[in-house]
Structure 1
Amino acid sequence: EELVDMTKPGIENRGRAKGYIGLLHQEYDLFPHRTVLDNLTDAIGLEFPKELAMRKAIITLRMAGFSEEKSQDILDRYPSQLSEGERHRVALAQVLIREPRLVILDEPTGTMDPLTKVDVKHSIMHARDEMEETFIVVSHDMEFVRDICDRLALMRGGKIVQIGGTKEVLDSLTDEEREVMGKSAPE
């Protein structure tokens, strides 16, 4: 395995690990005036021959949970022509196309409706299984966390206070934390 020496500055004094990390913000942005294909290929900042770009985009869309047929079907569509769940999966694909070693998802379910949330949950789990890389999920959605995470780090006051298995950590939540998060920890 390749380790990154974090004690040395990277190019232009940027973090050395930056190239290994993919981040999907809660409020992700797709360029509304660009097709899905352009949104994906622009994300990696390289010019590819169209056929190669299409192939890489389809492979990545499949990692994000689209079927082969659906992946081909949406390449020439604009974000406004996609459902909310499809846009979220394309945004996830935008992160995955860079082939990060570590994927960070910031509140990936945000304010989604229940159907979109299930769709996105499946796409994240599929991508994680396909890539066999580490996904870090920052979330207040305990139901989502219970369904998708195998380990948790619980933070209180900006500090990690517990790390462990999902059930173990969720069981340790206070009643107030459960109330704030809107969900009870699993029984």
Structure 2
Amino acid sequence: MLTVEGLDVWFGYPPDRVDAVQDASFTVAQGESFGLVGESGSGKSTILRAIAGLIDTWSGRIVVDDQQVEGRRRDRAFHKTVQMVFQDPYASLHPRHSVDRVLSETLKLQGMDDIDRRVQRLLDDVGLGRGFRFRYPHQLSGGQRQRVAIARALAAEPRLLLLDEPTSALDVSVQAEILNLMTDLRAEHGLTYVMVSHDLAVVGHMCDRLAVMQGGRIVEVMKVEDLRQGAASEAYTKSLIEASAGYVRA
């Protein structure tokens, strides 16, 4: 479903150029859930944004569903295949647009018909009832907003979802609800996920494989079973696993 080869992403120009991602390569099979982990500033979200076409200063090769993508321009066919869910569910929704308008306009942009039925089906898919259809973002909890954001992403009937820390802005109890929802949606719709997270427990729950990033580079690609068993080969990955396990008493 996704191939990334020799991806470099940078911001600015010499002498102020910053190389955010360097020589990143990985593949994601159809139906797989793949994680990108690492400390803040390691380049995880930058990779997602380059794939989605939100950054145009990149080089390398990105292939989505056997179609090579170039530059920043993405056509409608691409966005029907690939959608992104962002970290902040409030900032990603227009504060003056109702849930109905958010979903209806997205469906129309994707050339869909039977809008009314599709809006209700999307709300049902993400566990929101009819009573939420005409509410505004400020009338929703953080978890409910993220459900709307997920419904908006599903409106195009994509095959690949790019998930940029989709639960990090939510309370722990709500995080579990959203993660379980996304697990169910992946199974029901046959979706492929690429998920960015700094939380190894989330990646361990959601993903099949993961890439560990440090300083803009991928230092290791591993199976989630190896992550759970602490069977990392790189020192940096081992330190991440140890840190995620909490402090060890002296």
Q: Is residue 74 of structure 2 the alignment partner of residue 23 of structure 1?
A: no
- Specify the alignment match of 1:144 in structure 2: 202
CA contact (8 A) 1:153 1:162 kept: yes
Show the counterpart of 1:58.
Answer: 120
Change (3 A) 1:27 1:111: closer
Q: TM-score, normalization: structure 2? A: 0.61
Superposed CA offset, 1:83-132 (max 9, x none): 11111111111111111121000011223211111121112112211111
1:62, CA displacement in angstroms? Answer: 2.8
Letter in 2 for 1:124: M
Higher RCO, Cα 8 Å, sep 6+: 2
1:6-43 Cα offsets, whole Å, 9 max, x none, are 16x59xx7246732210112134112212111111222
State the partner residue of 1:112: 170
Q: Structure 1-normalised TM-score? A: 0.79
Structure 2 residue aligned with 1:184: 245
Which range is displaced more, 20-29 or 157-166? 157-166
Three-state SS of the structure 2 residue aligned to 1:93 is helix
More divergent stretch after superposition (144-153 vs 40-49): 40-49
**Identity percentage of aligned residues:** 29
C-alpha separation between the residues in 2 aligned to 1:48 and 1:6? 25
The answer on 1:125 being equivalent to 2:209 is no
Residue by residue over 1:113-166, the C-alpha shift from the partner in whole angstroms, topping out at 9 and shown as x without a partner, is: 111111211121122111112011000011111111122122222222322321
State the superposition RMSD in angstroms.
2.7
Which residue of the partner structure matches residue 88 of structure 1? 146
- 5+ residue gaps, structure 2, are 2-63
- The answer to whether the Cα contact below 8 Å between 2:200 and 2:241 also exists between their aligned partners in 1 is no
1:163 counterpart = 2:212: no
Q: 1:73 to 1:112 in 2, by over 3 A?
A: same
Q: For 2:131 and 2:87, how far apart are their aligned partners in 1?
A: 26
* Higher-helix-fraction structure: 1
SS at match of 2:201: helix
Match of 1:98 in 2: 156
The aligned counterpart of 1:175 is 239
Provide the residue aligned with 2:31 in structure 1.
Answer: none
Contact 1:63 1:130 in 2 (8 A): no
Q: Distance in 1 between matches of 2:117 and 2:171?
A: 31
Query: Which amino acid in structure 2 is aligned with residue 155 of structure 1?
Result: M
Instruction: Compute the displacement of 1:48 (Å).
Output: 6.6
